Amino acid sequence: MASVLSLASTTKTFRIAVVGVGLVGNEFIKQLLAFPAPSPFRLVSLSSSKATVFHPDGLSVSAASWKDELASSGRKPDLQVLLRELAALVKPGQEVVLVDNTSSNDVAALYPQFLKFGVNVITPNKKAFSSELSLYESILAASLESGAKFLNEATVGAGLPIISTLKDLVATGDNVLKIEGVFSGTMSYIFNEFSTGKEGGPSFSSVVSVAREKGYTEPHPADDLNGADVARKLTILSRFIPPLRTALPNGYQSVSTKSLVPPQLEGIESGDEFIKRLPEFDAQFDKMRADAAKEGKVLRFAGVVDVQAGIIKADLEKYPVTHPFATALGGSDNIIMFHTERYGARPLVVQGAGAGAAVTAMGVMSDLLKLV
C-alpha cells in the first residue's frame, strides 16, 4: 500500500465516482474526504438509488455537505450515462475509479464495460466475483485488455487482509493446500454464544433473535442462516487459486452448502414471522450442541477450500474446545487459516472484526491506495 508520504509526490490524479451511499458508502466518503492534503483524489460523482451528481473536475463538497448536495440534485441515476462520463475522463496521468458500495447485481454486471473503457473498479460487492464463471472471466479479460484494475479486498473479511494475503501467497509461488475459516460475522456471533463446549446454554432461536436485535443479521435471518454469504466468499477466494479458478461454473451455487434454515421455514417471507417460528426447532439444535459437547467440541459454521481434495464447502463443523475456532473468537470476529507449503506446520492466521461499516470502508480505501 502506498504511504501517505509517497502520495505527496505522485503526479497522477484519481477521479472517483461513488455508487451506493448507505452505511459503507457513507463511511468511505467520510474517509476519502478526510484524506490528508495534498490529496491525489478528486470525488467527481455520487450516486444513490434515487439521485446522482457529477462534475468532471471534482465536486465541491465536504463531509458535512455532500448529502444535501446529492438530495437536492434533480438528476436520476443512470449507469450507462455514468459509464460514458467516466470513460471520457480516462487519459494518461489521470486514473478514473468506480467505487461500488452497493450489493447490486445490475452494477456488478457492468464491471466488464467499465474496465474495458479503462475505469478501475473497487468494491465490497460480492456479486460479480461469486456469480457465474462467465461474468468473472469477462472481468478478467476486460482488465487484461485495458490495464484497468479491479480490487475487491472488502468482499471477504471486510477490512481484514484476506484476499491480499492469498494473492501474495499465490504470486510468490507458494502452493495453497487448504483455507478454512469462520467467514461470517453473523454466524460467528451466533455460534460463539450458542456453543461453548459446555452442556446446555441459551436456545438457538434466542441467540438468533438477539443477533438480529444487535444488527448482526440481515433483516431476514434466513439470509444468513442459509450459508449463501459464506459460499460467496469461498467462491471469491477459490478463483484466486490457479487449480480452482474454473471449479465453480455457477459460482456460489456450485459450493456444497449446509443451510441451517429448517425446511419448514424456507418459504417464510417475513423476518419477524421467521423469528417467531424458529423456537419450534430449538430441540434439534440443542441435540447437536449436546452431541458436540460430549465429544469435547464446539459447533462452528465454517468454510473450507481444500485444494488437494477439490472440496469447497460451507458447513456446520465440530472443533475441539482447544481449537482456535473455539478459543480465539469473540463477538462477530472472522478467523481464516491458510495452510500452504511454506506455512505447513503452523498455518498463517488472519483474525479480527469481519463486519461493520467502518472496517469495510477501510478495506475499500486501502484498495484505492493500492492504485497510487
**How far is C-alpha 245 from the chain's CA centre?**
18
For residue 25, say whether it is annotated as part of any ligand binding site.
Answer: yes
Cell 444487535 identifies what position? 214
Phi, psi of 19 (to 5 degrees): -110, 125
For residue 310, say whether it is annotated as part of any ligand binding site.
Answer: no
C-alpha cell at 79: 449507469
C-alpha cell at 95: 486514473
Residue in 229, 224, 230, 227 with CA at minimum distance from that of residue 208: 224
Other C-beta atoms within 10 Å of 140: how many?
15
For residue 251, say whether it is annotated as part of any ligand binding site.
Answer: no
Instruction: Assess contact for 126 and 232: CB atoms under 8 A.
Output: yes
Peptide bond into 219 cis (omega under 30): no
For residue 176, say whether it is annotated as part of any ligand binding site.
Answer: no
Cell 451528481 identifies what position? 53
C-alpha cell at 119: 475505469
Instruction: Assess contact for 359 and 159: CB atoms under 8 A.
Output: yes
For residue 331, say whether it is annotated as part of any ligand binding site.
Answer: no
- Distance of alpha carbon 195 from alpha carbon 202, whole angstroms: 9
- Distance of alpha carbon 249 from alpha carbon 239, whole angstroms: 11
- Distance of alpha carbon 183 from alpha carbon 301, whole angstroms: 8
Which residue out of 116, 233, 313, 318 is catalytically annotated?
Answer: 233
Residue 233 a catalytic site member:
yes
For residue 13, say whether it is annotated as part of any ligand binding site.
Answer: no
| Full DSSP string of 157-206 | TTTSSSHHHHHHHHHTTPPEEEEEEE--HHHHHHHHHH--SSS--S-HHH
**CA triple 273-331-298, angle to 5 deg:** 85
For residue 126, say whether it is annotated as part of any ligand binding site.
Answer: yes
Which residues are paired to 151 by β-bridges?
122
For residue 181, say whether it is annotated as part of any ligand binding site.
Answer: no
Phi, psi of 75 (to 5 degrees): -95, 130
For residue 296, say whether it is annotated as part of any ligand binding site.
Answer: no
Encode 187-210: b = buried (16+ Cβ within 10 Å), e = exposed.
bbbbbbbbbbbeeebebbbbbbbe
Give catalytic residue positions: 233
Binding-site annotation: residue ranges for NADP(+) = 20-25
* Residues placed in the known binding site: 20-25, 102, 126, 218
